[in-house]
C-alpha cells in the first residue's frame, strides 16, 4: 500500500537553524561573540573581517569602531538587513577560519535557536482562527442583501437612483419640496430618500457603501436655510445630471 501524505491537522515543519533570524540569538551568546571578536589580533579574524564579509564598506566599519561594543552593534545593524540569519553568521565564521568560535559557542547557539522555535510555535498556537486579510466589504453570501424596498434580496440587481439625498430630520420639509421639484416635474429624476426608500434597520455604513459602489449616484447635501425661494431650488435642480441608462 502506498504511503499516504501528511495529515491535514499535522504540525508545520520545524524551521532549520540556518533559516532563523539573528534575533534568535540571546544576550549571552552575543556578549560571548563580542569577547572573541572585539579583540584585535593578527592571528585570527576579528569583527572588522566579519563586517567586510557581510558587505559593510570602509566608512561604515570606521563608524562602528567608535562604539564600545562594535561586534554587538554590527549584529544589531545586520539583523535588520536582507539575508541576515543564524546560518549565514555561522557560515561566515567558518569562512573566516573561526572554528574555535563555532566549537565554543555552538551548543549555546543551538540552545537559543531551540528556545526561539518553541516560542514561535507557542505564539502561533495561541493566535485566533481568522482570515489573514479582508479584501472586500461587499457580501459574498446568499443572505438577503437588499438595502432599498425595491432591491433584489440577493443583491444581484440593486436599485439605481439619480441622486442620494443626505439630510437632517429638521430639513424634511425642504426634502419634500425637492421631491416635488425633481421627481414630479419634467426632470423626472429618481431620488433616494432614506425615510422613504431604505429598508428599516439598514446600517448607515451599508447605505454609504451603496452610494459609492452600487448606485453610483450624485449625493445632494440638504441645507434648507440656504434656500430662500422656490426659484433657487429650481435653479439648483437644473444642475443635477439625468441618469444615462
Report CA-CA distances (Å) from 47 to 69, 81, 90, 105.
Answer: 10, 17, 14, 16
**Is 91 in the same domain as 149?**
no
The whole-number pLDDT of residue 29 equals: 94
Name the strands in the sheet holding 163-166, side by side, starting at the edge strand that comes first in the sequence.
191-193, 163-166, 218-221
Round to whole Å and give the CA distance between 192 and 179: 10
Residue 238 lies in a domain: no
Q: Specify if 1 maps to a domain.
A: no
CA 79, CA 89: separation in Å to the nearest integer?
10
- Condensed to tens digits (0 to 9), the pLDDT of residues 191-212 reads 888 788 777 766 665 666 665 5
Q: How far is CA 46 from the centre of its chain?
A: 41
pLDDT tens for residues 48-81?
999 999 999 999 999 999 999 999 999 999 998 8
Answer whether residue 165 is part of any domain. Answer: yes
Q: What is the CATH number of the domain that holds 30?
A: 1.10.533.10
Query: What values do phi and psi take at 16, rounded to 5?
Result: -75, 160
Question: Is 9 contained in some domain?
Answer: no
Establish if 102 belongs to a structural domain: yes
pTM: 0.48
Is 48 part of any domain?
yes
Indicate whether 50 belongs to any domain: yes
**Domain count of the chain?**
2
Looking at the fold, whether 31 and 115 belong to one and the same domain comes out as yes
Containing structural domain, residue 158: 144-204
Cβ atoms within 10 A of the Cβ of 101, count? 21
Amino acid at each position: 500500500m502506498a504511503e499516504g501524505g501528511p495529515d491535514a491537522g499535522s504540525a508545520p515543519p520545524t524551521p532549520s537553524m540556518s533559516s532563523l533570524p539573528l534575533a534568535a540569538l540571546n544576550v549571552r551568546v552575543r556578549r560571548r561573540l563580542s569577547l572573541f571578536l572585539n579583540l584585535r589580533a593578527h592571528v585570527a579574524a576579528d569583527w572588522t573581517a566579519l563586517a567586510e564579509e557581510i558587505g559593510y564598506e570602509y566608512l561604515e566599519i570606521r563608524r562602528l569602531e567608535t562604539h564600545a561594543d562594535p561586534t554587538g552593534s554590527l549584529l544589531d545593524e545586520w539583523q535588520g538587513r536582507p539575508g541576515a540569519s543564524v546560518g549565514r553568521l555561522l557560515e561566515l565564521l567558518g569562512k573566516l577560519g573561526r572554528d574555535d568560535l563555532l566549537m565554543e559557542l555552538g551548543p549555546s547557539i543551538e540552545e537559543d535557536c531551540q528556545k526561539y522555535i518553541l516560542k514561535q510555535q507557542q505564539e502561533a498556537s495561541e493566535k485566533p482562527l481568522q482570515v489573514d486579510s479582508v479584501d472586500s466589504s461587499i457580501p459574498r453570501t446568499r443572505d438577503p442583501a437588499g438595502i432599498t424596498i425595491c432591491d433584489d434580496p440577493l443583491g444581484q440587481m440593486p436599485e439605481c437612483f439619480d441622486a442620494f439625498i443626505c439630510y437632517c430630520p429638521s430639513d424634511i420639509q425642504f426634502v419634500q419640496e425637492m421631491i416635488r421639484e425633481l421627481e414630479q416635474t419634467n426632470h423626472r429624476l429618481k431620488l433616494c430618500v432614506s425615510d422613504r426608500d431604505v429598508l428599516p434597520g439598514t446600517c448607515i455604513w451599508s447605505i454609504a457603501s451603496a452610494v459609492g459602489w452600487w448606485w453610483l449616484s450624485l449625493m445632494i447635501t440638504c441645507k434648507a436655510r440656504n434656500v430662500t425661494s422656490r426659484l433657487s431650488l429650481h435653479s439648483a435642480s437644473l444642475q443635477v445630471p439625468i441618469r444615462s441608462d
